[in-house]
Structure 1
Amino acid sequence: MMVQITKLHPEVTPPLFDLSAFPLVRLPMPEPGIAGYGERWAAEFDAVLARTERFVLLNIGPIPDEAHDDRKARTLWLKRRRAELGRLCLAHLHVERDPDRRAMMQDRAEKMAGAFPYALALFDSEDAALERAWTLLRAVPLTL
């Protein structure tokens, strides 16, 4: 006799944004080759902004190449939500341990700084980035 197993719970996709330490928002980097997350990224970021509380973004690790459609979705979203981002996001901090990649990213960040309504900063360690994040978050009222 063959027994059929039925899943009671559908697979749960973990969120792209880690809000467990909010107002520190961790943005895990997508795995290289992963595509199709742009709209989900925008929807999750909408939920972060809907909190109407100030926050700091934190990325760790190398930035993989993005699929064109994902980059386009994120870019359009950033343009639409620029004013809210400027009010709510205190900074976007990125940890890159490799000094050569960090220097390349720093150069790129300086060239793109005007495109973002918040400060961009690179760090060689998570501890240094976290120290900066919590310093920023303690310095201002988090609610508007």
Structure 2
Amino acid sequence: MNADLATNPPLALDSQQFDASRFPLVRLRRRAVQPGFAFAWAAQMRRLLALATPFVIVAEHDDDETADDFRLRAAWLRTHRAALGAQCRGFIVIEPRIEARATTRETLRQLTDGSGVRTVVVSSMRVAGELTPVLLKHTAVHTNTRMSQSRAV
């Protein structure tokens, strides 16, 4: 991890929505997932992409996301799939309930389908932190790759 970027990100993110203190691990704050958050989320994602530095997004699974926010985020991800595939090395979702991981993985796959971004569902932040350097070592996945990029750990 680049210590300079971790302590002083070159492009400030909204700390109410994203925690970039461990950049290139960027954590979506659970309290940010409120009805209507998708527009602010998209603006923050554009700022992350503008860094032109590989990163990994970590978020806790949230059943309370509205259908409208889900659709808006999915549309943004489809529209920006090339840029996202070039910079984002992975989306990691924390789902502590083992019985819910398969459903969460499928939802995440739908959200990122065609982007080439690796998606993983894990049990804890500790596992997400251990997986982040592994994902960062991988080069960008081309969006025309049709193999499954989604896993549950």
TM-score where L is the length of structure 2:
0.70
Structure 1 segments unaligned to the other structure (5+ residues) = 1-12
How do residues 17-96 of structure 1 correspond to structure 2 at under 5 angstroms?
A: 17-30=18-31, 34-68=34-68, 70-96=69-95
- Counterpart residue identity of residue 84, structure 1: A
- Counterpart residue identity of residue 134, structure 1: P
Specify which structure has the bigger relative contact order, considering alpha-carbon pairs within 8 angstroms and separated by 6 or more residues: 1
CA–CA separation in structure 2 for the residues paired with 1:65 and 1:124: 20
**1:31 CA displacement:** 6.5
Pair 140,130 (structure 1): closer, same or farther in 2 beyond 3 Å? same
CA–CA separation in structure 1 for the residues paired with 2:123 and 2:21: 23
Q: Deviations over 1:79-121 (max 9, x none)?
A: 2211000000111111111111113213444566634320111
- Counterpart residue identity of residue 132, structure 1: L
TM-score where L is the length of structure 1:
0.73
CA–CA separation in structure 1 for the residues paired with 2:117 and 2:77: 12
Task: Report how many residues are paired.
Answer: 127
Pair 73,104 (structure 1): closer, same or farther in 2 beyond 3 Å? closer
SS at match of 2:133: helix
- Structure 2 residue aligned with 1:3: none
**1:40 CA displacement:** 0.9
CA-based RMSD = 2.6
Structure 2 segments unaligned to the other structure (5+ residues) = 1-13, 140-153
- Structure 1 residue aligned with 2:103: 104
| Structure whose alpha-carbon radius of gyration is higher | 1
